A = this chain, B = another copy of it.
Amino acid sequence: MTVSVDQFKNYDGHAQRERPPEDPELTHVGINTPCGEYLRQFWHGIALSEELTDLPLEIRIMGEDLVLFRTSDGEIGLVHRHCAHRGASLKFGRVESDGIRCCYHGWKFDRAGCCLDMPAEPADTPLKDEVRQRAYPAQELGGLVFAYLGPDPAPLLPNYDVMVREDCKRVVGVKTDHCNWLQRIENGHDPAHLGILHAAGYPQIALQRNIFTREKTWYGYRTISKFKDEMAKVSHQIFPSHTRRVGARVGDPPRHYIHYRVPVDDTHTATWSVQVEITDEGPYDTVCRGWSPTERMVYEHEEDGWWGIPSRDQDRIAQESQGLIHDRSRETLATSDSGVVQYRRLLSEQIKAVAEGHDPLGVIRDSEKNQCVSFDATMNFADGVKGAPDMINA
């Protein structure tokens, strides 16, 4: 038998039905969008060094479809996927000693997009010197390949400590998150979720309030977190989209990390991760863990007394479940969201600065300052568990 309606007072699902639409300013990354042009001022991870073979590799970044290759002369080329001639994909091109040759009519381009051969044209065709395959600079560092898709001149690829230090064991890997890039970045500016989303991995601080302070720096933010005045974590949020921190979840040894978050397009984000273990003894090498396969909203369920989701997927699930592009008009921001609020405000300012022709925060052009860019990342528990040796003082 059905119930009386009296118990259904004060449900306001229907009353709350209208809201303003989402704002694309901070979320859309395609070419010629404000945020897309801002992001194009930086080098971004695009591949694992290990993936570079004599077969062209399809790359998608910020909505652009490219092809990456290494010539037999050892040079790295990154060009637009469609041939400048009639648009066939260079994915089916042949990599030769000095460039890549299109399968359709045989035009060959070097890594800068200059045309080296047009076999179906007269030998003296002036077109060979005129045509340019759209190309972008690319280079390797620490087991990853990075690209620069912005205007001339390119800045320096930053030599972050975990990328260039040689006294460590390094593991690199990558996975795709099936959501907009901003959700992934905001997570790094949000210390409040640490003891909640990751409660199963940090039982010391489960459901505990995190008191954190943030300091603005030349690269973004330095954040200090405290729980019950007993534990402190120092982490760094490097603009536009990297985090530099220490992790010490239950079951894992403490390690230093950098995560490069790179928009694949408006609804996919790659996370290029580098983890470093500082050890007294070698061998000091770089191991490639490859791609971790992920599928949108497909996760394993794991009984842990909390959210039932495995440690490795907790951040991904929280962000993917916000939606492909999270509708921020429906949020209710609280005091613990101050990091996210700061980040959005500064990101918006940076987008405007780039539109006005200025260099944004975090860009490095002075090679003296790029010998080794170090960070004081730590994570210490009062119970004696120390997150990881400090890379500054180690």
B-contacting residues of A (Cβ < 8 Å)? 1-5, 7-18, 31-32, 40, 55, 78-80, 82, 84-89, 91-94, 103-106, 112-113, 118-122, 125, 127, 131-132, 134-137, 139, 141, 148-159, 164, 192-193, 196-197, 207-210, 306-309, 314, 317-319, 321-323, 326-328, 330-337, 340, 365, 367, 370
A117 nearest CB neighbor, chain B only = B207
CB pair B106 A207 closer than 8 Å: yes
CB pair B209 A135 closer than 8 Å: no
CB pair A331 B120 closer than 8 Å: no
CB pair B334 A112 closer than 8 Å: no
Contacting residues, chain B, for A156 (C-beta < 8 A): 2, 4-5
CB pair A10 B112 closer than 8 Å: yes
Query: How many copies of the polypeptide does the oligomer hold?
Result: 3
CB pair A113 B12 closer than 8 Å: yes
Which of B120, B135, B157 is the one whose CB lies under 8 Å from A192?
A: B120
CB pair A85 B122 closer than 8 Å: no
Task: State the main secondary structure of chain A at its contact with B.
Answer: loop
Q: How far is the CB of A200 from chain B (nearest CB, A)?
A: 10
Contacting residues, chain B, for A118 (C-beta < 8 A): 334
CB pair A336 B105 closer than 8 Å: yes
Q: By CB atoms of chain B within 10 A, which of A3, A78, A321 has the most?
A: A321
**How far is A82 from B22 in the complex, measured between Cα atoms in Å?**
15
Q: How far is the CB of A315 from chain B (nearest CB, A)?
A: 10
